[in-house]
Structure 1
């Protein structure tokens, strides 16, 4: 090979190496970001606006407790400018990978934005906080502010724009919280018991004064045993609980077992509807946003447990929140 051709080949190879070393967002105006859960992805888009492009790993119906990264997920995370995840032991199968990735690029655990004193703990495992912080707007505001600060760190030039968008979003959050408090207060006190497939609504109950009973614990990795099912059936019968709820990201098997067990004891229990717990609704719908997800849950719980709510929820944008027949 001639010297000229060798030199040309070397220049091409050098250029390719240079391209591979360039961050994914180089040459574009937007940060290339990856978020694990839909709730974090949606909030990133709200605060980041047109300065960010966000890929969410977990879509409609995904269970973050059990989710394992795919090859395309790994590629997306390694090429992104930063990765945002919930943390607090939510994405249990991703923790090891994200820990290693965090040694090479910014990785933000947004659940940790919630102050320790505001986190709920598992009675059996006090060192493991409840990770479902998005269920309470009052706690989620800390995540909004954490996202604002993280984006400002990644792109200081647009920090003012991120702050303005965060303030606007917090106004929506506060309006949603006010709506939730108003309509949930119409539920008769004796009916303020929320029975679900797994213990994802603790922050909701803490914020709005509801007793929350999950068949499984904080994580869906743990299976509910026969003893737990039997004790829950007895509780439904003894306390006359008439409505329980399924979740979009969790099998309804245990809920059906409760209904059958209660029926065998002469007590009728109905399904109050389907709640969004660890995942939001379909992308592109109102329920596919964090605001819509919480609006749906609040509206459905209120209606199913005997309270009064407007048609279509806070903004009249909800699809049907009727009980399952």
Structure 2
């Protein structure tokens, strides 16, 4: 039977809040009976896809937030809470990604439901605390395939705890998934290295790509901060226009779950200074592509991002990605 400590808070490890205190007082969650399938609810698709890959037919996965949904702003509905209560296990990202759902997680966990914050199960040294983030860790861990592979291992351990009979299946599927993520990571490393060094600057709508930057040695500049709740000021936009013009950066990028208004302001600002900047494409940041598409998988999401970034910034990458599957159905 797991202890209360297995239910992790939505707040970052280095900044305990009332939520952390509330969860620390929770009763021990009841271990689910081994059965097939295990009903799993995930808040975001990046987690849901990993659970499906590992769990296979031994899990039935439901994802709360679909394509184009911004988890920073998402508020749990009464039906969402009901879905969490009906699930055998709940996985959420944590590190305040789903900050407006904190009360819902506490309410569900108090019933004894197993509720796990995936990123908060990772060692702290894996996490990034950006400058000016006021002690908050960056929640966008999935942008580093190596770190997300480690998160997949932690998800597998929780599935095994709730379905011990499925352990051989879970471990076999995990090994397959890790090998596929490693191949994706190797492709990303090779492709990004082809971008001219002066142009290895990724300008996006908000700071969702810090882990991507750390892994692949590319500079990332976001208009907004870690959360899309933050406002982009005129000064910040002007600073980024200066960077675009001075470094002759050819492209900026919109995000599928964030308004393109601020990014288009950069394009217009650079044009007014005599430098042509194009929108290099739409990146998947806080949400994946449509269900049933290649981009609606974690690997497809990252493949799309890498390929789009590399081609727009002057590097070399195959038009349809490293598996020749971009734009296809699953």
When normalised by structure 2's length, the TM-score is 0.87
Match of 2:159 among 151, 158, 167: 151
Deviations 1:231-268 (A, max 9, x none): 21122122222200000000000001111111122221
Question: Which segments of structure 1 move beyond 6 Å, counting only runs of 4 or more?
Answer: 25-28
Match of 1:285 among 261, 285, 293: 293
Comparing 277-286 with 63-72, which one deviates more in the overlay? 63-72
User: Superposed, which structure 2 residues align to 1:164-243 within 5 Å?
Assistant: 164-243=172-251
- Structure 2 unaligned residues grouped into runs of 5+: 1-29
Match of 2:14 in 1: none
* Distance of 2:153 and 2:135 partners within structure 1: 25
| Counterparts in 2 of 1:116 and 1:28: CA distance versus 1, 3 Å | closer
SS of the counterpart of 1:212?
Answer: strand
Match of 2:60 among 48, 53, 56: 53
User: Superposed, which structure 2 residues align to 1:137-148 within 5 Å?
Assistant: 137-148=145-156
* Distance of 1:171 and 1:27 partners within structure 2: 28
SS of the counterpart of 2:41?
Answer: strand
* Distance of 2:309 and 2:260 partners within structure 1: 17
* Distance of 2:34 and 2:143 partners within structure 1: 38
Tell me if structure 1 keeps the 8 A contact 2:201–2:220: yes
* Distance of 1:37 and 1:151 partners within structure 2: 17
Tell me if structure 2 keeps the 8 A contact 1:113–1:142: no
SS of the counterpart of 1:94?
Answer: helix
SS of the counterpart of 2:204?
Answer: strand
Shift of 1:205: 0.8
Rg larger for = 1
Deviations 1:198-219 (A, max 9, x none): 0001100110010000000110
Tell me if structure 2 keeps the 8 A contact 1:280–1:293: yes
* Distance of 2:138 and 2:291 partners within structure 1: 26
Match of 2:102 in 1: 95
* Distance of 1:28 and 1:158 partners within structure 2: 9
Match of 2:36 in 1: 29
Deviations 1:2-59 (A, max 9, x none): xxxxxxxxxxxxxxxxxxxxx9x98962111110000000000000110000100000
Match of 1:118 in 2: 126
Q: CA RMSD in A?
A: 1.6
When normalised by structure 1's length, the TM-score is 0.88
Comparing 225-234 with 203-212, which one deviates more in the overlay? 225-234
Comparing 233-242 with 150-159, which one deviates more in the overlay? 233-242
Match of 1:258 in 2: 266
Match of 1:79 in 2: 86
Shift of 1:117: 0.8
* Distance of 1:40 and 1:240 partners within structure 2: 37
* Distance of 1:100 and 1:70 partners within structure 2: 13
